[in-house]
A = this chain, B = another copy of it.
Amino acid sequence: MKRVYMDNGATTRTHPEVLQAMEPYFLETYGNPSSVHNFGREALKGVEEAREQVQKLINAHDPQEIIFTSGGTESDNLAIIGFAMANRKKGKHIITSAVEHHGVLHTCEYLEKELGFSVTYLPVDKFGLVNVEEFQKTIGEDTILATIMMGNNEIGTIQPIKELAEVAREQGVVFHTDAVQAVGNMPVDVQDLGVDMLALSAHKFHGPKGVGALYVRKGVKLHPHMHGGAQEKKRRGSTHNTTGIIGLGKAAELARDNLSEKVEKVTKLRDKLIKGIEENIEEIVFNGHPEQRLPGNVNFCFRYIEGESLLLSLDLEGIAASSGSACTSGSLDPSHVLLATGLSHEVAHGSLRLTLSYFNEEEEVDYVIEKLPGIIDKLRQMSPLYQSKS
């Protein structure tokens, strides 16, 4: 059976060259980078090279501004809890948005519920955008931190980070952005954006799972989130995940290679897929912003059907996709992101996310456009909601 992977927003295939770069660190250069001996020193060299590769990918000023973590979630936790706890004497108010990934949202909720912080969740418009002026108005005396994501993992909307960070800087508020979906998939320049902290995760751009990084601008003080050894200049305890870090470094290097060409390719595939769906299927809702959008993200709601049924039907045709449907997550409410953009529960249940990478090819897009209308039709024929309308 044909197999088409269009769930790159969930995770990506590890690039074969990434695995190749990692392999010697399993079997030969397996020392602990904190060790004095040769096995350790060689491993350390690899780790520091990887740090420079990540630095270059996001144009950080200094490799020491990169802290390696176990992924996007840990980076967000470290940025938010680590900063909030270290600076809580300056204030206890945090600003975020209603459409953040749970790695940010649940972290903010934890600070609110368990640690005495107050959090503002900025609403978004129908495209999923926060409003810069509204953000500015929300900043108060007590505000110490703002955390607003760069590219939305569900609907692909890219927030005006540069403008938001500028407002924050003017008001003396430290600004973190969860750029897990963006980094490696589009140009991201921390100096140009003017952010203080930025989270990234290797497995979203053909690196290995279980490794990520947090950029922390020099001078920004944090508590560690992993309390332990003196690794990462005492900012993150635990034996270095050498193989993962080498993989992240290699993925960062590969991502920089011809980035603009890859972005162009993916954007073209995305737009073809969007057009193909819009032209062939009725009663649909396009989600996210049409232009300020991650290169690989396509998201629609199909009225009268439920997302998980759609995913299963696509899977039977070999197409791997995802949905903000409640039933895929085992919760009762559908995606908080889709609800925040103003969709009803009923419509939000019927969402489909197709996420592309530069590994995808045009014929795969054609295949999806060929198969999807029949599947939607079959599921609608089964739906009591559709019948009642026709």
Contacts and interface: CB of A to CB of B under 8 A. Distances in A.
A272 interface: no
B27 A19 contact: yes
A188 interface: no
Nearest to A43: B11
Given A26-B14, A40-B320, A239 B203 contact: yes
A211 interface: yes
A37 B37 CA distance: 46
Number of copies: 2
A103 B227 CA distance: 6
A10 interface: yes
B102 A36 contact: no
Interface stretch (A117-125, A291-299, A324-332, A380-388): A324-332
Contacts of A318: 38
B331 A35 contact: no
A27 to B, nearest CB: 6
A3 interface: yes
A164 interface: no
Given A239-B209, A320-B31, A39 B5 contact: yes
Contacts of A114: 85, 223
Contacts of A239: 10-11, 71-73, 201, 203, 209-210
Tier of interface size on chain A: 35 or more
Interface in A216-232: 223, 225-230
Nearest to A323: B36
B10 A71 contact: no
A106 B240 CA distance: 18
A103 B231 CA distance: 11
Nearest to A37: B320
Contacts of A26: 13-14, 18-19, 208
Nearest to A242: B209
A215 B227 CA distance: 19
A321 interface: yes
Interface stretch (A257-265, A307-315, A362-370): A307-315
A5 B14 CA distance: 30
A191 interface: no
Given A70-B238, A73-B227, A109-B227, 7 more contacts: A10-B32, A11-B32, A36-B311, A70-B74, A73-B238, A81-B227, A101-B228
What 9 A-B pairs are tightest by C-beta distance, nearest first? A210-B241, A70-B70, A73-B238, A73-B228, A37-B320, A103-B228, A14-B26, A10-B32, A106-B227
Interface of A: 3, 5, 7, 10-14, 16, 18-19, 23, 26-27, 30-32, 34-40, 70-74, 76-77, 81, 85, 101-103, 106-107, 109-110, 114, 201, 203, 208-211, 223, 225-230, 237-244, 308, 311-312, 314-315, 318-323, 328-331
